[in-house]
Every structure is written in structure tokens, then in C-alpha cells.
Amino acid sequence: QVQLVESGGGLVQAGGSLRLSCLASGSISSINAMGWYRQAPGKQRELVAILKSGGQIQHGDFVKGRFSIRRAPVKNTVYLQMNNLQPEDTAVYYCNADLVLSDKSWQDGNYWGQGTQVTVSS
């Protein structure tokens, strides 16, 4: 089974920090891109940051240097370091990955994690 598992969410006070992790597992041949989206209640899902296989990073304008994405030392894992969190950052954060799979019973393409809640209090 192909899975993306997020961890690291929780409740934090304004100005605090969290580090989210996403681990991709299964019959993965290669990863074209991997990163994070978020969705707050009543709002559309938006890009946070995506790391591509060539090293290029796409990120949302709201990041403004507060968030950073990087490949973890653990295989098929990425981190999202979030500093100086603010109440408007409160959302469910979803891991996303564009995968090439070795198991032909699974289709190549985008896969999503179930999300991890980040809540920032005033």
C-alpha cells in the first residue's frame, strides 16, 4: 500500500515553532516532488511549499521566510519547519507527493496524506 504519513502537528502559542514530517512508504521507484498544502475551515486548499526532485522549491507567498522545506536524512521523508507561527496559520496541513511506483497495480501520480492539525493560539 502507498501511504503518506504526517506527524508533528499540534497546539502552539503565537510566535512558537513546529516541525512537520511526512514519510512516504510503499512500492516507490522515485519521487518527482513532495511537500505540503494546507486548508483552513471555509477556505480553499493552498500551497505551502513543494520540493521538486531537481531541488527547485515552490512556496506560497504567505511564507515570507518563516517556513522552510527540506529533505530529511530519513529516506522518502521531508520536513516543514515552521517558525513564528501566527493564528492565521491554523489549518490542516496535508502532505502531497508526485510518485513513480514500481508496483504496476498502483498508478503513478499525486498522493495525499490524511493531514495533521496545526492550531496557533493568540
Q: What is the pLDDT along the chain (122 residues), one digit of tens a residue?
A: 899 999 999 999 999 999 999 999 999 999 999 999 999 999 999 999 999 999 999 999 888 799 999 999 888 999 999 999 999 999 999 999 999 999 989 999 999 999 999 999 99
Sign of the dihedral through C-alpha 45, 48, 51, 56: positive
Closest-CA residue to 16 (of 68, 85, 65, 63): 85
CA distance 119 to 65: 20
pLDDT per residue over 40-65, tens digit each?
Answer: 999 999 999 999 999 999 999 888 79
Residue 19 neighbours by CB under 8 Å, 6+ apart: 8, 79, 80, 81, 82
Contact at 8 Å (CB) between 37 and 62?
Answer: no
